[in-house]
Structure 1
Amino acid sequence: MSESGGSLCQVKQLPCHSVPLCRLQAGGHHMHNLPHLTHPPWANHPAPAVVSSPAVAVRHRVNGATAASCSGPDCTASRLEEEVALARGTSKGKVVVTGGGGYFGFRLGRELARQGLSVILLDMNKPPCDVPDGAIFYQSDIRDYPSLYKVCEGVDCIFHTASYGMSGPEQLRKEQVESVNVGGTNNVINCKERSIPRLVYTSTINVVFAGKPIEDGDEDSVAYVPPDVHIDHYSRTKAIAEQMVLSANGCSLKGELLQTCVLRPCGIYGPEERRHLHRVNVERRLFSFRFGDPQARMNWVHVDNLVLAHTLAAEALTLKRSCAASGQVYFINDGVSVNLFEWLTPLFEKLGYSRPLINLPVSLVYSAILVEYLHVALRPVVTVPLLFTRSEQVRNIAVSHTFKIDKAHRELGYCPKPYSLADSVEQYLKSQKPCSTSPFFNLSWTSQHLILL
Structure 2
Amino acid sequence: MELCGPNMSERGRSLCQVKPLPCHSAPLCRLQAGGPHIRNLSHQPWVNHPAPAIASSPTVAVRHRVSGATAPGCSDPECAASGLGEEAALARGVSTGKVLVTGGGGYFGFRLGRELASQGMSVVLLDMNKLPCDTPDGAIFYQSDIRDYSSLYKVCEGVDCIFHTASYGMSGPEQLRKEQVESVNVGGTNNVINVCKERSIPRLVYTSTINVVFAGKPIEEGDEASVLFVPPDEHIDHYSRTKAIAEQMVLSANGCSLKGGGLLRTCILRPCGIYGPEERRHLHRVMVNVERRLFSFRFGDPEARMNWVHVDNLVQAHTLAAEALALQRSCVASGQAYFINDGVSVNLFEWLTPLFLKLGYSRPLINLPVSLVYSAAILVEYLHVVLRPVIGVPLLFTRSEVRSIAVSHTFKIDKARRELGYCPKPYSLVDSVDQYLKSRQPRSRSPLFSVSWTSQLPRHLLVMLLLGLSLLLLMLSCMVSSN
* TM-score in terms of structure 2 length: 0.79
State the match for 1:315 in structure 2.
323
User: What is the identity, as a one-letter code, of the residue corresponding to 2:236?
Assistant: I
Rate the CA distance shift 1:264–1:341 in 2: closer, same or farther, 3 A: same
When you count helix as a share of all residues, which structure comes out higher? 2
2:252 to 218, 226, 247: 247
SS of 1:128's equivalent in the other structure is: coil
Contact 1:143 1:187 in 2 (8 A): yes
Question: d(CA) in 1 for partners of 2:159 and 2:285?
Answer: 37
State the match for 2:165 in structure 1.
161
State the match for 1:431 in structure 2.
439
Alignment of 1:45-444 (within 5 A): 45=48, 47-48=50-51, 93-191=97-195, 192-253=197-258, 254-281=260-287, 282-369=290-377, 370-380=379-389, 382-388=390-396, 390-432=398-440, 433-435=442-444, 439-441=458-460, 443=463
Question: d(CA) in 2 for partners of 1:98 and 1:264?
Answer: 17
Q: After TM superposition, give the deviation of residue 92 of structure 1 in Å.
A: 6.8
Question: d(CA) in 1 for partners of 2:463 and 2:438?
Answer: 24
Q: After TM superposition, give the deviation of residue 27 of structure 1 in Å.
A: 5.6
Contact 2:383 2:393 in 1 (8 A): no
Question: d(CA) in 1 for partners of 2:236 and 2:111?
Answer: 30
Question: d(CA) in 1 for partners of 2:153 and 2:397?
Answer: 34
Q: After TM superposition, give the deviation of residue 227 of structure 1 in Å.
A: 2.1
SS of 1:323's equivalent in the other structure is: coil
Question: d(CA) in 2 for partners of 1:105 and 1:406?
Answer: 25
User: What is the identity, as a one-letter code, of the residue corresponding to 2:296?
Assistant: S
Contact 2:203 2:266 in 1 (8 A): yes
Task: Give the aligned CA root-mean-square deviation in angstroms.
Answer: 2.3
User: What is the identity, as a one-letter code, of the residue corresponding to 2:320?
Assistant: L
Identity of aligned pairs, percent? 79
Contact 2:53 2:145 in 1 (8 A): no
User: What is the identity, as a one-letter code, of the residue corresponding to 2:179?
Assistant: E
Larger radius of gyration: 2
Rate the CA distance shift 1:269–1:443 in 2: closer, same or farther, 3 A: farther
Contact 1:118 1:135 in 2 (8 A): yes
Question: d(CA) in 1 for partners of 2:229 and 2:170?
Answer: 19
Rate the CA distance shift 1:430–1:385 in 2: closer, same or farther, 3 A: same
Contact 2:162 2:204 in 1 (8 A): yes
Q: After TM superposition, give the deviation of residue 366 of structure 1 in Å.
A: 1.2
Rate the CA distance shift 1:402–1:130 in 2: closer, same or farther, 3 A: same
User: What is the identity, as a one-letter code, of the residue corresponding to 2:199?
Assistant: R
Rate the CA distance shift 1:37–1:368 in 2: closer, same or farther, 3 A: same
Question: d(CA) in 2 for partners of 1:51 and 1:332?
Answer: 26
User: What is the identity, as a one-letter code, of the residue corresponding to 1:347?
Assistant: L
Residues 1:30 and 2:49 are matched in the alignment? no
Question: How many equivalent residue pairs?
Answer: 402
SS of 1:312's equivalent in the other structure is: helix
Contact 2:23 2:257 in 1 (8 A): yes
Structure 2's unaligned 5+ residue stretches are 55-94, 449-457, 467-483
SS of 2:135's equivalent in the other structure is: coil
* TM-score in terms of structure 1 length: 0.84
Q: Deviations over 1:37-62 (max 9, x none)?
A: 3422232x3525x689xxxxxxxxxx
Q: Deviations over 1:107-143 (max 9, x none)?
A: 0111011100010000000111111100011000000
